[in-house]
A and B are shown apart, each in its own frame.
Chain A
Amino acid sequence: MATPKKTVAKESGQEKAGSPPEFSREQELKALRDMLLIRRFEEKAGQLYGMGAIGGFCHLYIGQEAVVVGMQMALKQGDEVITGYRDHGHMLACGMESRGVMAELTGRRGGYSRGKGGSMHMFSKEKHFYGGHGIVGAQVSLGTGLAFANRYRGNDNVSVTYFGDGAANQGQVYESFNMAELWKLPVIYVIENNRYAMGTSVSRASAQQDFSKRGVSFNIPGKQVDGMDVRAVKAAADEATAWCRGGNGPIILEMQTYRYRGHSMSDPAKYRTREEVEKVRHDQDPIEQVRNRLLADGVSEQDLKAIDAEVREIVNEAADFAQHDPEPDASELYTDIYR
């Protein structure tokens, strides 16, 4: 995708051949660290859920780390991020602190929503993270509204609006596409296609399985991206942000990715084989790809272990905080309803 064109349908799927631009060593190391942080955080969250420290629904992001990390590498101060309920990775990528996110998962007062939101409902005005939304597809209209505000104010910020292959079938997504193109709103619609909407595979739910084409009838350009390769994500994000900042309106990026865990913690994932998961994990793991490139580039195993140790330290500290921080005071029951 040199420049996004209006005849996107033709472009779709054609860019997969050839390697994306190389990262510098600094970029590779940053991508590795940021992805590892999400992976280790999510593993720990799964563990705490297993111990009963986290309640309710908990949707893990393991396997999809390259998407948010690559996108974030292309953003600038003030760009907004909004997503659905599988949101832990997005928050960490935005720079929200592990301890605040983990403490929200455990429902404690030090959580980003003071324990009143939980896994699916967290926000950070400071980091321009607008949630964390539990109703599938609702964030697409909201994210379009964030882009509307950017245009209204005449700034050149971009709204990065994430949703999944499942949400892509909701009606309000297309209502939003229509308005975004009509009003040339600066919004990147990032469709994280992890191949399953809960237990329903894309082929069983979607008449048009090429999600980059979902904007064709609104003249919104789109592109399929290898969402397991952080370099490919970053390259696509660079072009998409340039497109939006240039006043050209919205753009769709279909990130072809995969979640290793079930839809939520209580999903036995019987709709796919263990072999399928293992194959993606073995052949395409986003973190292993970066590790292998770094090792080939002469970085020592020791140095990589040090990064892992640093990340584990952060996550362990977060888990410790999240289990010992007090629950919200009873008086919080009636706060934050009105202001």
Chain B
Amino acid sequence: MPIQVLMPALSPTMEKGNLAKWLKKEGETIKSGDVIAEIETDKATMEVEATDEGTLGKILIPEGTADVLVNTPIATILADGESAADLAKVPAAPAPKAAEAAPAAAEAKGDAKAEAPQPAAKVPAAPVSEALPDPEIPAGTEMVTQTIREALRDAMAEEMRRDGDVFIMGEEVAEYQGAYKVTQGLLQEFGARRVIDTPITEHGFAGVGVGAAMAGLKPIVEFMTWNFAMQAIDQIINSAAKTLYMSGGQMGCSIVFRGPNGAAARVAAQHSQDYAAWYSQVPGLKVVAPYSASDYKGLLKAAIRDPNPVVFLENEMLYGHTGEIPKLDDFVVPIGKARIARAGKDVTIVSWAMGMSYALKAADELAKEGVEAEVIDLRTIRPMDTETIINSVKKTGRAVTVEEGWQQSGVGSEVAARIMEHAFDYLDAPVARVSGKDVPMPYAANLEKLALPSVAEVVAAAKAVSYR
């Protein structure tokens, strides 16, 4: 039966076009790939190539015709052995569906009435992630005092002993023993096959890590600082975070990107940025930002075991801090669960990472004035433990967020929005945000101090929401 050639759509948005010119005449032989006509769209003149072979039987739309709707039959092609007589066999032209064509026509005429309101498609509810509680630490468990630097090293070493697919790569992680000595001793224990010094090439080695993870390995990619990872952000987001979804669940990426994040001391604007808000916006990533030594260890172990890409944000200022870590064979803290760092009834302070240092000191100050603050350490930014925040706010009726990052579209803004959505009726005051100032980090010591949040600001915010 003769084949119909339809008016093609030549761009993602094309609905109609002009048939500018026929390059073949009726009766001419056509081979697959021959240019048979030219179509003018609103953007360009395009060629139409034949995909079938035979003879051009009949031209249905003469050249010069304007506004031919997509999918209108424009010609028929006769296959080998067919003649003009076969043209009669072609079924009546299936005109483009009126429903499809109408909106475009209506739009062109500016006819508002034709745009019937569409019933909103039912969007399925987003799944709610359930976080596991912290592991129980048996009574009498010995506690070891360690620096956060050592806690991170031990977490990696334990996971590398446990799983041969885990390896670490990054700048100066091996021979130099880590730019901040976080990987001290790993080369000696695991050798150069699994502890790999890279050239200074963040974009490249992040991509190599993601590729290795797609092949089933479990890389730990260390960035000397997260500031340098901006060069690699395409691989983290477009390749690591999205591949599982884009592959329909076939190909995931078990990888940890880790390194110091946020402000160190006197290193100025390019080396002092907090990326928690940036990465926390991306579905497919998990974002972890611990504060205490035991959380550093337990969460890094969880991150390495997690089958998803995890952004693990550390803080250089905390590497030398010490804390108590339970001496257990396998101490893993689940991702996605906040911790109540200090219980209180009067005001909720939500923070994480370095922000916790201001929050906890502020709680001490407030206690002296008779205000009992409840301090929540989020620990994981994505998925966020909304439940713990909301339960606390329902109790206190007041909330303050504390972060070193910038305020606009910051994590604190997200926390405030969730409180507004889930606990509006419980609030006795608007949520207050304490954050880094809206400036690039200055170098001068006095200005740097001003750019960061302070204990005094947290105290003032807590009092403000308490109307004291």
In the assembly, what is the distance between CA of A290 and CA of B213, in Å?
40
In the assembly, what is the distance between CA of A122 and CA of B252, in Å?
13
**Of A43, A51, A172, A179, which is in contact with the most chain B CB atoms at under 10 Å from its CB?**
A172
Query: Using Cβ atoms and an 8 Å threshold, which residues of chain A touch B198?
Result: 179
- Over the window 288-331 of chain B, the binary record of Cβ atoms lying under 8 Å from chain A Cβ atoms (1 yes, 0 no) is 00000000000000000001100000000000000000000000
Query: Using Cβ atoms and an 8 Å threshold, which residues of chain B touch A178?
Result: 199, 201, 204
From A55, A117, A176, B246 is in contact (CB under 8 Å) with A117
B44 nearest in chain A by CB position: A268
In the assembly, what is the distance between CA of A192 and CA of B428, in Å?
64
Query: Using Cβ atoms and an 8 Å threshold, which residues of chain A touch B203?
Result: 141, 171-172, 175
Q: Is A221 an interface residue (CB 8 A)?
A: no
Q: Is B62 an interface residue (CB 8 A)?
A: no
A338 touches B308 (CB 8 A): yes
In the assembly, what is the distance between CA of A43 and CA of B244, in Å?
30
B212 touches A330 (CB 8 A): no
Query: Using Cβ atoms and an 8 Å threshold, which residues of chain B touch A337?
Result: 244-245, 283-284
A149 touches B247 (CB 8 A): no
Q: Is B177 an interface residue (CB 8 A)?
A: no
B252 touches A268 (CB 8 A): no
A145 touches B215 (CB 8 A): yes
B248 touches A141 (CB 8 A): no
Given A46-B51, A141-B211, residue A266 in contact with residue B12 (CB < 8 A): yes
Given A50-B10, A116-B246, A333-B124, residue A142 in contact with residue B216 (CB < 8 A): no
A121 touches B70 (CB 8 A): no
From B11, B121, B129, B207, A140 is in contact (CB under 8 Å) with B207
**Of B45, B209, B239, which is in contact with the most chain A CB atoms at under 10 Å from its CB?**
B239
A113 touches B49 (CB 8 A): no
Query: Using Cβ atoms and an 8 Å threshold, which residues of chain A touch B239?
Result: 133, 135, 138, 142
A339 touches B167 (CB 8 A): no
From B47, B51, B213, B234, A138 is in contact (CB under 8 Å) with B234
- Over the window 278-306 of chain A, the binary record of Cβ atoms lying under 8 Å from chain B Cβ atoms (1 yes, 0 no) is 00010000000000000000000000000
Q: How large is the interface on B (under 10, 10 to 19, 20 to 34, 35 or more residues)?
A: 35 or more
A268 touches B46 (CB 8 A): yes
A142 touches B207 (CB 8 A): yes
B248 touches A334 (CB 8 A): no
Given A266-B11, A331-B124, residue A131 in contact with residue B51 (CB < 8 A): no
Q: Is B210 an interface residue (CB 8 A)?
A: yes
Q: What is the minimal beta-carbon distance from B444 to any residue of chain A, in angstroms?
A: 34
Question: Within A122-173, which residues are at the interface with B (CB < 8 Å)?
Answer: 122-125, 130-135, 138, 140-150, 152, 171-172
Q: What is the minimal beta-carbon distance from B424 to any residue of chain A, in angstroms?
A: 26
Query: Using Cβ atoms and an 8 Å threshold, which residues of chain A touch B32?
Result: 43
B23 nearest in chain A by CB position: A274
In the assembly, what is the distance between CA of A146 and CA of B207, in Å?
10
B169 nearest in chain A by CB position: A148
A135 touches B234 (CB 8 A): yes
In the assembly, what is the distance between CA of A130 and CA of B211, in Å?
9
Number of A-B residue pairs at CB separation under 8 A = 204
Given A52-B71, A260-B33, residue A121 in contact with residue B217 (CB < 8 A): no
Given A124-B250, A336-B244, residue A145 in contact with residue B124 (CB < 8 A): no
From A50, A130, A175, A268, B251 is in contact (CB under 8 Å) with A130
A330 touches B122 (CB 8 A): yes
Q: Is A247 an interface residue (CB 8 A)?
A: no
Q: What is the minimal beta-carbon distance from B76 to any residue of chain A, in angstroms?
A: 15
Q: Is A251 an interface residue (CB 8 A)?
A: no
Interface of B is mostly: loop
From A115, A132, A145, B209 is in contact (CB under 8 Å) with A145
From A116, A146, A265, B214 is in contact (CB under 8 Å) with A146
B10 touches A265 (CB 8 A): yes
B13 nearest in chain A by CB position: A266
Question: Within B122-158, which residues are at the interface with A (CB < 8 Å)?
Answer: 122-124, 126-127, 129
- Over the window 15-58 of chain B, the binary record of Cβ atoms lying under 8 Å from chain A Cβ atoms (1 yes, 0 no) is 00000000000000000110100000001111111010000000
Question: Within B193-225, which residues are at the interface with A (CB < 8 Å)?
Answer: 193, 198-199, 201, 203-217
Query: Using Cβ atoms and an 8 Å threshold, which residues of chain A touch B9?
Result: 49-52
B43 touches A266 (CB 8 A): yes
In the assembly, what is the distance between CA of A205 and CA of B43, in Å?
25
In the assembly, what is the distance between CA of A269 and CA of B47, in Å?
9
Query: Using Cβ atoms and an 8 Å threshold, which residues of chain B touch A150?
Result: 215
A55 touches B12 (CB 8 A): yes
Question: Within A251-279, which residues are at the interface with B (CB < 8 Å)?
Answer: 260-262, 265-266, 268-270, 274
Query: Using Cβ atoms and an 8 Å threshold, which residues of chain B touch A330?
Result: 121-124
Q: Is A62 an interface residue (CB 8 A)?
A: yes
Q: Is A321 an interface residue (CB 8 A)?
A: no
Q: Is B178 an interface residue (CB 8 A)?
A: no
A179 touches B208 (CB 8 A): yes
- Over the window 173-212 of chain A, the binary record of Cβ atoms lying under 8 Å from chain B Cβ atoms (1 yes, 0 no) is 0011011001000000000000000000000000000000
Q: Is A114 an interface residue (CB 8 A)?
A: yes
Q: Is B235 an interface residue (CB 8 A)?
A: yes
- Over the window 37-76 of chain A, the binary record of Cβ atoms lying under 8 Å from chain B Cβ atoms (1 yes, 0 no) is 0000001101101111001110000100000000000000
Query: Using Cβ atoms and an 8 Å threshold, which residues of chain A touch B7?
Result: 50
Query: Using Cβ atoms and an 8 Å threshold, which residues of chain A touch B307?
Result: 339
B283 nearest in chain A by CB position: A337
Q: Is B408 an interface residue (CB 8 A)?
A: no
In the assembly, what is the distance between CA of A132 and CA of B167, in Å?
26
Q: What is the minimal beta-carbon distance from B68 to any residue of chain A, in angstroms?
A: 12
B209 touches A274 (CB 8 A): no
B244 touches A146 (CB 8 A): no
Q: Is B8 an interface residue (CB 8 A)?
A: yes
Query: Using Cβ atoms and an 8 Å threshold, which residues of chain B touch A134?
Result: 238
A sample of 20 more A-B contacts (CB under 8 A), given A113-B248, A142-B235, A339-B249, is: A44-B51, A49-B8, A82-B211, A117-B247, A135-B239, A141-B203, A141-B235, A142-B210, A144-B207, A145-B212, A149-B215, A152-B212, A171-B203, A179-B199, A182-B199, A265-B10, A266-B43, A334-B124, A336-B244, A336-B249
19 example contacts (A-B, Cβ-Cβ < 8 A) are as follows A50-B7, A51-B9, A82-B211, A111-B248, A114-B248, A121-B246, A122-B247, A138-B234, A142-B214, A149-B215, A175-B205, A179-B205, A261-B49, A266-B12, A270-B45, A330-B124, A333-B124, A334-B124, A338-B284
Give the interface of B toward A (CB within 8 A).
6-12, 14, 32-33, 35, 43-49, 51, 70-71, 121-124, 126-127, 129, 167, 193, 198-199, 201, 203-217, 234-235, 238-239, 243-252, 283-284, 286, 307-308
Give the interface of A toward B (CB within 8 A).
43-44, 46-47, 49-52, 55-57, 62, 80, 82, 111-117, 121-125, 130-135, 138, 140-150, 152, 171-172, 175-176, 178-179, 182, 260-262, 265-266, 268-270, 274, 281, 330-331, 333-339
Of all A-B residue pairs in the complex, the 9 with the closest CB atoms, nearest first, are A145-B211, A141-B207, A175-B204, A50-B8, A266-B11, A149-B215, A114-B248, A142-B211, A268-B44
